[in-house]
Amino acid sequence: VAEGPIKVRVAEGEALVCGGRCGRGREFVVVAERAVTIEAVDRLRLQVWEGPGSRIERAEPTIPAEWRQVEEMMASGGVAMLVGPVDSGKTFMATYLANRLLERGVRVAVVDSDVGQSSIGPPATISMAVVGGPIMALSDLEPKASYFVGSTTPSGHLLPMVVGTKRLVDVALREAEAVIVDTTGMVYGGPARALKLYKAEAVRPDVVVLLERQGELAHLAGQLEALGVRVLRLPASRWVKPRGRAERRALRGRAFQHHFKGRGVQEVEVDLSRVRLVGAFIGTGYVADELKGDLEAVLGAPVDYCERIPEGVVVVVDGRPQLRPALDVLRQRFGEVVKVLRRGFERGLLVGLLDAEGLLLEVGVLRSLDLARRVARVAAPLRSVEGASALKLGSIRLNEEFEEVERLEPGWL
């Protein structure tokens, strides 16, 4: 196991680097905070240049022998879904398996459905990539297609998680014979169980690989098998390096920054009469200026904008409205769904610009949403919004530095 920053040269023999073959004379660099496994195929001599804080450790094999079973199973193609708790080595296994299959001449694609610790594409999205050559990490891959979930946790977003994964697996199967699906570490509790169960039911993978330490995924194994989904229970490697909650959060913060800052953000104007708002109540009704006066009287605040929806009303107010009796009054009058939003509510919301197939063109940060004039301003690494058909509102907020600063209740808009 080699932890960066480190440069390695295969001086003699042959190595498998994260499962990818590296012959004599080959050199590779492991950047800081990354680690790779190096297995000797035969007698192996390495020349290394160690950077500050790097580590190279000689260990007994860190890849459990049982892992070969997945490789054999997938050698003729198919879909494998990798499931396990946080820090069970799912992403590493995806990398390893991709390299092993590639070497056997199989065309491989990876679907990364971990919206929190995204490897491919930015967080809050599910992405698909085709593996063109040996990789040291999934994050080396460029997304080929993505689906916008809009949150860095699947909680409250189970539908887009399931639909997005299924759609990208379908896209991947057009490009590759073997598709590896990486997943979030959510495996315990009601929503987690539902997510894993229905994701597997939607995708119907050829095999669900459960990475466990002590049989802790028996609850999933039993249910999946009963539903006719093949399950392979494999031991997690003892070499998994656990990441704390704080580290995961930091990684996520940086992932957004990397995505936005590294690619030159621009502010683009989106014409909402051509690009529809989706995923929220707002922007789906009809403007009802005639209600403004009444609403102002009930709410005790100036109304910027209001919109009638079949279930109720959406109002944007300037200042602090009196919600106490007002909400009840408005519910009685218009219907159960009364959304009272304060001016500026949109600032910093993560959004997805989608194409006419509902797939993601680019993620962005909403700067302003002027519903009366029907324009939105979005900061995104995008030159033009041509081809955009929908603007999907997410439920996290980023600050000017593209750090996640707020998680909003799903359905709040």
Ligand X SMILES: Nc1ncnc2c1ncn2[C@@H]1O[C@H](COP(=O)(O)OP(=O)(O)O)[C@@H](O)[C@H]1O
Q: How far is the CB of 378 from ligand X (least distance, A)?
A: 31
Q: Which of Mg ion, ligand X, none sits in contact with 173, Cβ below 5 to 8 A by type? A: none
Q: How far is the CB of 303 from ligand X (least distance, A)?
A: 47
88 forms part of the interface with ligand X (CB under 6 A): yes
SS (H, E, C) the chain: CEEECEEEEEEECCEEECCEEECCCCEEEECECCEECEEECCCCEEEEEECCCCEECCCCCCCCHHHHHHHHHHCCCEEEEEECCCCCCHHHHHHHHHHHHHHCCCCEEEEECCCCCCCCCCCCEEEEEECCCCCCCHHHCCCCEEEECCCCCCCCCHHHHHHHHHHHHHHHHHHCCEEEEECCCCCCCHHHHHHHHHHHHHHCCCEEEEEECCCCCHHHHHHHHHCCCCEEEEECCCCCCCCCHHHHHHHHHHHHHHHHHCCCCEEEEEECCCCEEECCCCCCCEECHHHHHHHHHHHCCCEEEEEEECCEEEEEECCCCCCHHHHHHHHHHHCCEEEEEECCCCCCEEEEEECCCCCEEEEEEEEEEECCCCEEEEEECCCCCCCCCEEEEEEEEECCCCCEEEECCCCCC
Query: Which pairing describes strands 404-407 and 108-112: parallel, antiparallel, or unpaired?
Result: unpaired
56 forms part of the interface with ligand X (CB under 6 A): no
Closer to ligand X by Cβ: residue 241 or 373:
241
1 forms part of the interface with ligand X (CB under 6 A): yes
Q: Are 349 and 410 in contact (CB under 8 A)?
A: no
Closer to Mg ion by Cβ: residue 183 or 395:
183
Q: How far is the CB of 16 from Mg ion (least distance, A)?
A: 21
Q: How far is the CB of 99 from ligand X (least distance, A)?
A: 13
69 forms part of the interface with ligand X (CB under 6 A): no
334 forms part of the interface with ligand X (CB under 6 A): no
Which residue in 55, 219, 241, 274 binds ligand X (CB under 6 A)?
A: 241
Q: Which residue in 295, 375, 378 sits closest to 341, CA to CA? A: 295
What track of x and - describes contact with ligand X for positions 278 through 317 (by CB under 6 A)?
----------------------------------------
Q: Which of ligand X, Mg ion, none sits in contact with 232, Cβ below 5 to 8 A by type? A: none
185 forms part of the interface with ligand X (CB under 6 A): yes
Q: How far is the CB of 191 from Mg ion (least distance, A)?
A: 18
Q: How far is the CB of 3 from ligand X (least distance, A)?
A: 8
Q: How far is the CB of 299 from ligand X (least distance, A)?
A: 46
Which residue in 197, 202, 232, 240 binds ligand X (CB under 6 A)?
A: 240
Binding residues for Mg ion (CB under 5 A): 90-91, 117
Closer to ligand X by Cβ: residue 139 or 284:
139
Q: How far is the CB of 74 from Mg ion (least distance, A)?
A: 19
- Neighbouring-strand partners of residue 294: none
Q: Which of ligand X, Mg ion, none sits in contact with 88, Cβ below 5 to 8 A by type? A: ligand X
Site for ligand X in 7-46 (CB under 6 A): 35, 37
Q: Are 86 and 188 in contact (CB under 8 A)?
A: no
Which residue in 4, 19, 20, 84 binds ligand X (CB under 6 A)?
A: 84
Q: Which two tokens stand for residue 369?
A: 């949403």
Which residue in 54, 62, 223, 284 binds ligand X (CB under 6 A)?
A: 62
Closer to ligand X by Cβ: residue 35 or 363:
35
Closer to ligand X by Cβ: residue 137 or 375:
137
Q: Which of Mg ion, ligand X, none sits in contact with 165, Cβ below 5 to 8 A by type? A: none
Which residue in 87, 140, 177, 311 binds ligand X (CB under 6 A)?
A: 87
Q: Which residue in 104, 39, 48 sits closest to 71, CA to CA? A: 104
With contacts defined by CB under 6 A, name the span among 39-47, 82-90, 128-136, 188-196 that binds ligand X. Answer: 82-90
Q: Which of Mg ion, ligand X, none sits in contact with 1, Cβ below 5 to 8 A by type? A: ligand X
Distance CA 176, CA 108 (A): 5
Interacting residue ranges for ligand X, rule: CB under 6 A: 1, 35, 37, 62-63, 84, 86-92, 185, 237, 239-241
